[in-house]
Amino acid sequence: MKRYIRAMMCIVTSLIRFGIIKVFNFKNFNFAYLQLISPLCQVEMQRDSKLSLGKMIRARSGSKIRVRTNGEIFIGNNTSFNHGCMLTCYDKIKIGKDVQFGPNVLIFDHDHDFKTPSGLKNLLYVTAPVEIGDNVWIGANVVILMGTKIGNNCVVGAGSIIKGNFPDNTVIVQKRETTVTEYNFNL
């Protein structure tokens, strides 16, 4: 019973919150009415940004969707964000339908432009769009960097840091090696 009450609270608070966001971002914010987004999920939109949410988006507590100035985020139907996921967009992030995110997944379509004469002080960014296809499963603690394109029906292994193009129907795992060294303390 508690589960149903919690789900209804998420739906009601999402409707109220998204209704307020819609008032201030009329043309730039689109959403389906039925969303299961935690009241503890942050949604931020800056001027001239666009956010489009498909039907039945689920986001657990601690998730953040941040669309910065001139950024665009499109999220397809039946997409689920686990605890602590964060999307930060200065250019464009497009997520297909039926995508599942594990906890603490981070998606960035930008990087600081440290090559400018003033360094990081001016907060300039280099950007490239991120695209995630349909029916993708992204494991826990994955970081997806700018310019990444993940095809349909892919699985991304937990803890991976990925950048680049990945074709349809692939498993993406970043291999790591554990090195154990024995020390001799009797020198």
Buried/exposed code over 137-173 (b: 16+ C-beta within 10 A; e: otherwise): bbbeebbbbbbbbbbbebbbbeebebbeebeeeeebe
- Rounded to 5 degrees, φ, ψ at 16 are -65, -50
The residue assigned the tokens 């029916």 is 135
Give the type of residue at 164. G
Catalytic residue among 33, 112, 116, 171: 112
The residues that bridge with 156 in the sheet, in sequence order, are: 138, 172
112 is catalytic: yes
Instruction: Compute the C-alpha angle 49/53/58, nearest 5°.
Output: 130
Active site residues: 112
